[in-house]
Amino acid sequence: MNNFEYKERQVSKSLKYSIADGSAYSAMLGLTQEYVVPFALALKATVLQVGLLSSIPNLTMALSQLGAPRLAERAGSRKRFILPVVFLHALVWAPILLIPYLFPGEKIWWLIGFLTLSTIFGSLGNPAWGSMMADLVPEKMRGRYFGFRGKICGLVTLVFFLVGGATLHFSTAHIFLGFSLLFSAAVVFRLISWYFLSKIHEPALSNEKTEHYSTQGILKDLGSSNLGRFIIGISLMNFATNLAGPFFAVYMLRDLKLDYLTYVAIIATATMANLTFMTFWGKRADRAGNIKVLKVTSVLIPLIPLLWIGSHQLYYLVPVQILSGFAWAGFNLASANFVYDASAPERRMRYIAVFNAMNGSAFCLGALLGGCLAAYLPPLLGYNLLTLFLISGLLRGLVAATFLRRISEVRQVPETSTAELLFGRPGFAQVKSGGEWQPVSYPVFASKTEKVPVSFSLTPGWWHELTAPSRDPPG
C-alpha cells in the first residue's frame, strides 16, 4: 500500500468515526438540550432566570472561544486539546443530575453555574474540531458530507429526544427521577463520543506561521473583510433569533400548559424536518454556493416567530415547525461551511473561534434582553411572549434584508435562480466566461457527461463516490 492509499484509508476511516462521534454526541443532545428549560421550570425558575440560563452560559462560552486557538496550539495538536475538554464535558453533567437532591438554597442558580461549565467544556474544542474536520473533508464535498453527517446526527437527536419525552411523561409523579435518568444517559453517550473522537486521524497543520493572524487582529478587521462582515451578519441574525428562542418552551409549558408529549411532538417536528432537509441543502450548497442557500433561507426565518402568533393548536404549529426545520437546516449548514470555505487553513481555527464567540455573545445578549423585556411587554392576544415573538420576527427580517447584500461567494459557482436551487432541474445554469455570465447546456445539478453524486452511503466505495471529480464542462 503506497502513502496515498494509506492516507486515503485514514481519511475514510476518520470520516466514519466522525459520524459515530457525532451520533453519540447527538444522543446526548437529544436527552439534554430541549429539557434544560423544562428542568429549570421544575426547579421553579422565573422567566428572567430562564433568560439568564441561556445568556450566562453563552457569554462565558463566547469569551472562552477567544482563547481556544492559543490553548490548542500550546497543547501541540488539535486532537490533544479536544479530548480532555470533551471528557470534562461528559463529567460535568453528573452534578447537574444531582441538583434536586444534594444542593441547598435556590437550586436554579446551581443549574446556571453547572450549565455554564458544561457549555464552556462543550464548546472549547469547537474551533480545533472545525479546523481538523475542514482539513479532512474535501472542499467540494463539504456540503454533502456535513449534510449527510448532520442528517444522521439529527435522526439520532430526534430518537433520543422522543425517548426523553416518554421518560418524563411516565415519571411525572417523580419528575426529578426522570430528569436524572436522562442526564445520566447523557454522560454515557458523551463518553462514547469521546472514544470515537480519539480514533479520528488529525491531518498536519499548515506549516505557515500563524502568529501574524492573531484573534485580536481578526476582531479588529471584522468590518473590512468579506468573512468578517459575514460573521457580523450571522451574529445579528442569532441575536434577533435568541430574543425569543429560549422562551418558546416557556410559552408552551407555562402559558399554554401543554403536557410533555405534546411539547415533544412540536419540538420533534422541527427536528425531523431539519434532518430531512439536511442533505437537500448540502448538495445545493456544493453546487450553487453557500451564500445562495443563505439568501433563500434567510427570507423564511423571519416568518417563523410571526406564524406562532396565528394559533396555538397542534395542527397549526406542526406545519410551522416543518418550515422552521426546512429553513434552519439550510441556514446553519451553509453558515458553518462558508466559514470553512472563506478562511485559509492556517487561520481557520481562529476564524471559527471568532465566529463562535460572536454568535455566543449574540445568543447571550438576545436571551438576556428577551428575559428582561418579557415581563414588561404589553400582551398580544393575551400573552406577553407573543409580543416578544413579534419583535424577534421583525428584527430577523431587518437583518435578512440588509446583511447578505455585502457578502460575496468565495467559490466559483454557476449562477442559480431560486427556482433552480429549490427544484433542481427546471432551468439551466450560467457560468462566468470572459467577465460575463453565459448560459451553458447542462442543468444546474447534473452534467450531461456524468451524473454528479448527490448522496453516498457507508459502503466500501463511499469515499471514492464522494470524491469522484465532476466532469461538468468548464465555464
Give one word for 420, left, alpha or beta, with left for phi > 0 and alpha for psi -120 to 50: alpha
Q: What is the pLDDT of residue 439?
A: 40
Rounded to an integer, the average pLDDT of 1-12 is 65
Tallying the residues shown for the chain, one arrives at 475
Mean pLDDT for the stretch of residues 37-42: 87
Number of H helices, E strands in the chain: 21, 2
Q: Work out the average pLDDT over 159-181.
A: 87
Q: What is the pLDDT of residue 5?
A: 62
| Confidence class for position 467, pLDDT limits 50, 70, 90 | very low
Alpha helices in 171-245 (DSSP H): 175-199, 215-220, 226-242
Kind and range of the H or E run holding 440: strand 436-443
Rounded CA Rg of the chain: 22
Give per-residue burial for 122-140: e unless 16+ CB within 10 Å, then b.
bbbbbbbbbbbbbbbbeee
pLDDT at 6: 59
**pLDDT of amino acid 24:** 94
Confidence at residue 288, expressed as pLDDT on a 0 to 100 scale? 86
Q: What is the DSSP letter of 448?
A: S
What pLDDT does residue 449 have? Answer: 33
pLDDT confidence tier of residue 297, bands split at 50, 70 and 90: very high
C-alpha cell of residue 330: 439550510
Q: What number is the average pLDDT over the span 91-117?
A: 88
Provide the greatest CA pair distance for the chain.
72
Ranges of H-type helices in 377-423: 384-402, 418-423
Selection from 88, 117, 114 nearest residue 99 by Cα: 114
pLDDT confidence of 443, banded at 50, 70, 90?
very low
End-to-end CA distance of the chain: 37
Which whole number is the average pLDDT over 68-84? 85
Reported confidence tier of residue 83, pLDDT bands at 50, 70, 90:
very high
**HEC string for 303-333:** HHHHHCCCCCCHHHHHHHHHHHHHHHHHHHH
pLDDT digits 0-9 by tens, 317-376: 999 999 999 999 999 989 988 888 888 777 888 888 888 888 888 888 888 888 888 878
Domains and CATH numbers, the chain: 7-200+218-406 (1.20.1250.20)
**How far is Cα 275 from Cα 281, in angstroms, rounded to an integer?**
10
**Residue pLDDT, tens place only, 368-384:** 888 888 878 898 888 88
- Calpha distance 421→289 (Å, rounded): 10
* 220 or 189, greater pLDDT: 189
How far apart CA 452 and CA 40 sit, in angstroms, is 48
Please choose, from the candidates 97, 116, 114, the residue with its C-alpha nearest in 3D space to the C-alpha of residue 187. 97
Summary mean pLDDT of the chain:
80
- Residue 415 has φ and ψ, to the nearest 5°, of -65, 130
Residue-wise pLDDT for 108-161, tens only, equals 899 999 999 998 898 888 888 888 888 888 777 777 788 788 888 888 988 898
* pLDDT at position 213: 59
What tens digit of pLDDT does each residue of 384-402 get? 889 999 999 999 999 999 8
CA atoms of 366 and 232, how far apart (whole Å): 14
- Helix H, strand E, coil C: the string for 270-308 is HHHHHHHCHHHHHHHHHHHCHHHHHHHHHHHCCHHHHHC
Q: Which helix (H) or strand (E) holds 429?
A: strand 428-433
Q: Return the DSSP state at 256.
A: S
Residues contacting residue 144 through CB under 8 Å, at least 6 positions apart: 279, 282, 283, 286, 453, 454, 455, 456, 466
